[in-house]
Structure 1
């Protein structure tokens, strides 16, 4: 088995492509700390290196974020070894019987940060369609994901995940890329905020 690696815009994160489905169409899953990683033996093994601060499972990739000051030269072989062991053994991605291991589908809007106005349903549908068809695929290419968190009074709330979370260029991506695209196609959008 060969696992391909790709750099991401976030110098602390690397994207690992095992050449097979990771989450598939079941959404994405982010582990922001060792406690949340208990739901997944793979994520837990990555955190057990002591040098990983974030693990993100995408459809066909895993993004790993190294802690401050950690050299990828030393960490990358460890991560590759853990990933190879996992995929070669065909171990389950999540611990059995662990309800917290169930992935949240990308289209599930659980966790909205604002209460939406039902009158904005058409605007929200346009925004979500653009996120699914244009924005999420581009963000996934960089080893991350974006979650819709709500729309109210012209402001779209989004959360960056994976390599995009904490990336030095994430603010520019939100303000210049995503906000520009949404404002172009949905004139009611005035601003995009990270939530």
Structure 2
């Protein structure tokens, strides 16, 4: 069981913050849900087996994706409903759930994330030592320069692989399906990595919907 993180003493305050993705809304709390630098992305109900909070959110028929970070939850809707109608209901639910110390996770996401990062940096058994070193440089750059900015928009970016100059990343939360994701990926992230890591030739992403 993961250590239960609870809200500070007193009422929990929550406000909604728009993201670059018009279908996603970021709900910011004065409560710690995860350790700094840890986040989890649930693209559907089946993926949320280790998060009772995410499972509860998927009970709302308009919720299509849930992203949880240190002090916010990003909800992506699947319908034509307007956020003005949905925000009060979601804010009330989150406030009540966290104030009641409802369980957030049943396993520790931090341990899972660390293991995934180590596996990604190591690459396949055929990866050279140079490729593994390059992978670690890319991970450090993403963690230190890219991820904090992406989290401000209610999403996340994670490293998946590096092979023959091609970097593959995963886009999560509000970044998945965001109309500006492709532009950000190419004009921002790809340029940064090319400048800082000369071995990088291109950055491609998983998690961008087919509409792009």
Aligned to 2:108: 102
2:194–2:201 CA contact under 8 A, matched in 1: yes
User: Could you tell me the TM-score, scaled by structure 1's length?
Assistant: 0.89
Count of aligned residue pairs for this structure pair: 190
Give the ranges of 4+ consecutive aligned residues of structure 1 lying more than 6 Å apart after TM superposition.
none
**Change over 3 Å in CA distance of 1:38–1:78 after alignment to 2:** farther
Give the secondary-structure state (helix, strand or coil) at the position aligned to 1:166. Answer: coil
Q: How does 1:22-101 map to 2 (within 5 A)?
A: 22-25=33-36, 27-95=38-106, 101=107
Give the secondary-structure state (helix, strand or coil) at the position aligned to 1:108. Answer: helix
Structure 2 Cα separation of the partners of residues 139 and 107 of structure 1: 22
Structure 1 Cα separation of the partners of residues 151 and 181 of structure 2: 13
Q: Deviations over 1:151-188 (max 9, x none)?
A: 01111100000000111111111111100110111111
2:65–2:77 CA contact under 8 A, matched in 1: yes
- Tell me by how many angstroms 1:11 deviates: 0.3
User: Could you tell me the TM-score, scaled by structure 2's length?
Assistant: 0.83
CA-based RMSD of the aligned residues comes to: 2.0
- Tell me by how many angstroms 1:20 deviates: 1.7
Structure 2 Cα separation of the partners of residues 106 and 180 of structure 1: 26
- Tell me by how many angstroms 1:108 deviates: 2.9
